[in-house]
């Protein structure tokens, strides 16, 4: 899942855009990029604290928003359950989420499904140029279906 965006030069990106490369920002990025799951701001903060115990919630929030502006992170809407926003590294390739109602697991899937949706929307029927496609599905995963 990870393995492409986690080792690029964050410092350079920040400076290119007129921002400063700071400890808290690096720590927030590490937290996000080293996780395979979608983290709440609180989870990011607790991971950040492993590197920098003094880092503040506020800086975490500010960093997350900054990263979103830079296009390297994004908020995800994982169904309606989550009452705290979750964040993930913005992968260049689209993917979607399968959320199992039984075991709570969240699977990420890349694949052409999202691309098919994009093509479908671009057709005559809709004429809609899709930018962000957010496909969250809740249901029962194979394993839980087999178990019941």
Question: Can you tell me which of 5, 49, 51, 52 binds DNA, judged by CB under 7 A?
Answer: 52
Among 5, 6, 13, 40, binds DNA (CB under 7 A): 40
Summarize as ranges the residues that interact with a copy of itself (CB under 8 A). 74-80, 83, 85, 98, 100-101, 107, 109, 111, 113, 116-117, 120-121, 125-142, 145
* 132-16-37-137 Cα dihedral, nearest 10 degrees: 0
Q: How far is the CB of 128 from DNA (least distance, A)?
A: 27
Place of tokens 């400890």: 23
The residue among 15 and 143 lying less far from DNA, judged by its C-beta, is 15
The reply on whether position 92 binds DNA by CB under 7 A is no
67: which 2 tokens? 């990263």
Following DSSP, what letter does each residue of 18-85 receive, concatenated? T----HHHHHHHHHHHT-SS-EEHHHHHHHHHHH-TT--HHHHHHHHHHHHHHTSEEEE--TTT--S-
Q: Residue 21 or residue 122: which is nearer to a copy of itself going by CB?
A: 122
Closer CB to a copy of itself, 5 or 130, in the complex: 130
């Amino acid at each position: 899942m990870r393995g492409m965006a986690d080792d690029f030069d964050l410092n350079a990106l920040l400076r290119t855009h007129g921002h400063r490369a700071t400890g808290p920002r690096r720590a927030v990025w590490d937290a996000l990029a080293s996780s395979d799951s979608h983290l709440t701001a609180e989870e990011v903060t607790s991971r950040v604290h492993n590197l920098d115990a003094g880092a503040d919630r506020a800086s975490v929030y500010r960093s997350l928003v900054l990263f979103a502006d830079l296009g390297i992170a994004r908020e995800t809407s994982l169904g309606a359950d989550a009452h705290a926003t979750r964040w993930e590294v913005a992968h260049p390739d689209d993917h979607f989420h399968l959320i199992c109602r039984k075991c709570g697991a969240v699977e990420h899937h890349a694949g052409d499904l999202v691309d098919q949706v994009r093509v479908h929307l671009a057709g005559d029927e809709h004429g809609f140029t899709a930018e962000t496609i957010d496909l969250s599905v809740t249901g029962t995963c194979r394993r839980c279906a087999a178990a019941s």
